[in-house]
Chain A
Amino acid sequence: MTAMSAALVLLSACGEGIDNRPFSEGALLGRVLRGDKTTGRVVVMGADPKDTDLDDEGRFHFDSLKAGPQELMVVANGAEALRVPAVVAGAQVTDLEDLDPVAAAFIVVNAANTQMVESCWMTIHQTDLRQIRDDGYYRFVAGPLAPGCYDATMDNQDAELWREHVCLQPGERRAFDVTW
């Protein structure tokens, strides 16, 4: 097989070859109804989430996203959000047009053990919501979140202290009392 491959290389190789790299990324844009430039943003969910802000008219734009199916968490303002799937086409601009958010949800973690709160943080996985700190009342609030399911964790420097798979309804405020 090696000899055959070598022979083929010698015999062929005319032209630069097939290049699919230009199609590995594409652009994505849309407009969020009732979007607020200050509080609104759009997050491309994933292990390495990316986010972008909204402009005055609630528009958002990603110049370069990996081609293929993606899921967006759209935060329109402090009270409305939306999760929406999107397919990013390689070397193309995908326009999601107008997105209509619904009532946002929140995850609240009440810390029963106040002594170690300062060294802990909460993370909503697949989003950029990390390092959510105590609000001064031994309470961690993650949101506004779009309705849907999330993995939420509480960590300190040494270990994961708490984990919960949470599915939220529009407008829901889900609270957990956690002791660690």
Chain B
Amino acid sequence: MTTARRISAAALAALLCAGGCAPASAEKGGLVRVRVSQAALDAAHAPRRFAVLVGIPEVRDPEWRPLRYAAKDAEDLGAALADPKRGRFDQVRVLTRPEQTTTQAVLQAVDALAAMASRPDDEALLYVSAHGTLARDDRGELRRYLVTQDARLKDPARTALSVDALKARFDALPSKRRVLVLATCHSGNGKSLLPPEVAEELAGIKTGFFTRPVESVSRASIVLSASDFGETAREDSELKNDIYTHFLVEGLSGAADRNLDGAVVATEAHDYARRRTFEYTQGRQRPSAEILEVGADPVVLAGALSGGGDAELFSYAARLEGARLTVDGIEKAELPGGAAVPPGRHRVQVEKGAQLLIAADVEVGRGARLSLDSLAERPPPSSGAIALGGGAFGFIDRQSREQLLPASAAGAVSLRLDRVLGDDFSLFADLMGAGGRAQLQLGGAPVDFGYRAVLGGGALARGWHLGPVSLFTGPRVAALWLGRSFNLALYQGSQEYLTLAPGWVGAASWRVFGRLELQLQISLMATYVRVDGAGSVLGHAGATAGAGWAF
């Protein structure tokens, strides 16, 4: 699609050029062949990069206290993005003047950004450094608002810029590589001021705000926030910037390029700014991010991708927040965030407290980006499983079932130990038991009897793990004990027999969710049985299904 559009646009451009430049011809109509180099075509259709940066230091309503560095934040970041040695953005608009920072003007700027970044592979960045606040909307729900030039403290819902509205505009951008950076907060502290009634309401809440973070409704976007929900974004007189913005700009100089691929992508920049902000504020400000990347292309904020560099492991999922990322036994990062690892195979673990959330062996290539969330969807590899179930076992041939022991329903318990011999081999142990009353069919006449049968076996099986499903097969040896008891008019007594049975086993397990595992096992064995004093080798089969607990 993109290629076709490029070619048709190039052809149109070439035709226009030809029409304007070529000498008049006697013939009208028809196509004119022109030569356009591939380099020229690529340059004409290279992804473009646009940024709109909004800084709102002061607003009309004097109830909002001024921000010292909001305009400077936008200008500093804009300078970094426009810098040919750093951001290399094609167009950077910095909006700080009063008429540029009204609610309507900001939304118009977003619309203009949408008009410019009109191709899916264009990059669009929208940055806002301003006061944030919370207010109830017409339906009584607590919403987040950006304090624009015309916002009034007494009526933010009607006069300030709804973050939801901004998000809706932002999500409508044709670009699929877009970043929204909100250097604001909504906690009532720092760069935030709340209407009195909202502040009073929130004061009674100990655990933070109960509205959904704006980031959670983001789609196809990267939303970076200078503070976590309910935390304070701060300006700093030493840094002369919003703290987060300061370190974001610093990261664009290359310091944030953790995988050394020549480019600082949005997640790298945020992780750098986040970590530095956290350190600088001694944990009082913890920037957050919600990221949903579209496609494989990261959003480059500075530099250019070299195609090389280390691979990146990252996660911004809320459920992994506070977890530690360990790669090959070395702690690499605290989530949310990421870490760069050399290309190759790595043992990745994510732990939260004493709980192992993710453990996986991954193969990453040069410059690859692997979301830890995708690993979290895989069930953690188990060391084994123990299961209870039921099934049946019996001799394969009909005559033996009629004359020795009928096929019997059985209860079963099984144990599987994974990775006993390398990563691929599992050790199986199982025990099946059956008992009851049945009839032998001897010469067409029934003989009532009671029976007990125990089949205990072990196997060393090769495993193939396909997501939540694992398949196993391997040799097996089992012991089969048969006991028959008769209480007949002409014969009372019991018979017992124990035999070894080598064979083969096939098994499948399915991790349904969590540690619940469903298992299926089928075994075929050869048993040596002495019947009426004569020995013979008989086929014996068993099948069980059960539910187990993976450990």
B482, B484, B489, B531: the one contacting A91 at CB < 8 Å is B489
For the complex of A and B, the 5 pairs showing the least CB-CB separation, nearest first, are A17-B530, A68-B443, A8-B528, A91-B491, A14-B498
Chain A interface (Cβ < 8 Å from any Cβ of B): 1, 4-5, 8-9, 11-24, 26-27, 66-69, 87-93
Report the Cα distance A122→B530, complex, angstroms: 47
B488 within 8 A of A: yes
If over half of B's interface residues share one DSSP class (helix, strand or loop), that class is named, otherwise mixed; here it is strand
Q: Say yes or no: A23-B532 contact (C-beta < 8 A), given A11-B500, A13-B499.
A: no
Question: Does B415 have its Cβ within 8 Å of any Cβ on chain A?
Answer: no
The docked-state distance in angstroms from the alpha carbon of A170 to that of B210 is 100
Q: Across the interface, do B490 and A19 meet the contact criterion of CB distance under 8 Å? A: no
- Indicate whether B529 reaches chain A with its CB closer than 8 angstroms: yes
State how many angstroms separate the Cβ of B218 from the closest Cβ of chain A: 66
Q: How many residues of B contact A (CB 8 A)?
A: 34
Tell me whether A68 and B528 are in contact (CB under 8 A).
no
Does the CB pair A18–B497 fall under 8 Å? yes
Interchain CB contact (< 8 A) of B486 among A12, A16, A91, A93: A91
Is A8 a contact partner of B526 (Cβ separation < 8 A)?
A: yes
User: Which residues of the other chain, A, contact B403 by a CB distance below 8 angstroms?
Assistant: 20
User: For the complex, what is the distance from the CA of A90 to the CA of B448, rounded to whole Å?
Assistant: 10
B residues near A17, Cβ cutoff 8 Å: 495, 497, 529-533, 535
Does B95 count as interface, using CB distance less than 8 angstroms? Answer: no
Asked whether any CB of chain A lies closer than 8 Å to the CB of B440, the reply is: yes
Across the interface, B443 reaches (CB within 8 A) one of A4, A22, A67, A92, namely: A67
Name the distance in Å between B551's Cβ and chain A's nearest Cβ: 33
Say how far B14's CB is from chain A's closest CB, in angstroms: 79
- CA–CA, A24 to B491, complex, Å? 11
Known: A17-B533, A92-B489. 18 other contacts (CB 8 A): A5-B528, A8-B527, A11-B502, A11-B528, A12-B528, A15-B498, A18-B495, A18-B530, A20-B404, A20-B442, A22-B490, A23-B447, A68-B442, A68-B445, A89-B446, A90-B442, A91-B488, A92-B447
Report the minimum CB–CB distance from A46 to chain B (whole Å): 13
Residues of A within 8 A of B499 (CB): 8, 12-14
Q: What are 16 A-B pairs at a CB distance below 8 A?
A: A1-B537, A8-B499, A11-B502, A13-B530, A14-B498, A15-B497, A16-B495, A17-B532, A17-B533, A20-B532, A22-B493, A23-B447, A87-B444, A88-B445, A90-B488, A92-B489
Query: A5: which B residues are within 8 A, CB to CB?
Result: 528, 535, 537
> Which A residues are in CB contact (< 8 Å) with B526?
4, 8
Knowing A19-B495, A22-B491 are in contact, say whether A13-B445 is a contact too (CB < 8 A). no
